Amino acid sequence: MKNDKISSQDCNIVGKKLGIIRRRKGINQQSLSVALLEKGIRLSTSSISKIENRTRKVSDIELLAISQILGVSVDDLLNDEKMKRQ
């Protein structure tokens, strides 16, 4: 089982939440990549996978576009429920 804690080696905090929300909405990485390209943002499925695995940083422009495509706020992607409970 993968550790859910954020470590100093993580490149972002949105990756885990992005994957969860994307799958709940029935959107695969390829569809997300295409939707981002329609907004003028080139993000390959490989890059999306790296973001979800917290091994790639996310720009503010990418984060905003992803949130719009998924129909959630940037805050929804940034908030970690476990952190809020502490």
Q: How many domains does the chain have?
A: 1
Measured distance CA(80)–CA(20) in Å, rounded: 12
Query: Whose CA is closest to 14, among 42, 56, 43?
Result: 56
Instruction: State the residue range of the domain holding 42.
Output: 15-72
Measured distance CA(37)–CA(77) in Å, rounded: 20
CATH assignment at residue 26: 1.10.260.40
Asked whether residue 22 is assigned to any structural domain, the reply reads yes
Residue type at 74? V
Asked whether residue 68 is assigned to any structural domain, the reply reads yes
Asked whether residue 48 is assigned to any structural domain, the reply reads yes
Asked whether residue 54 is assigned to any structural domain, the reply reads yes
pTM recorded for the entire structure = 0.83
Per-residue model confidence as pLDDT tens digits over 24-71 = 999 999 999 999 999 999 999 999 999 999 999 999 999 999 999 999
Is there a contact between 12 and 57 (Cβ–Cβ < 8 Å)? yes
Q: How many CB atoms lie within 10 A of CB 49?
A: 14
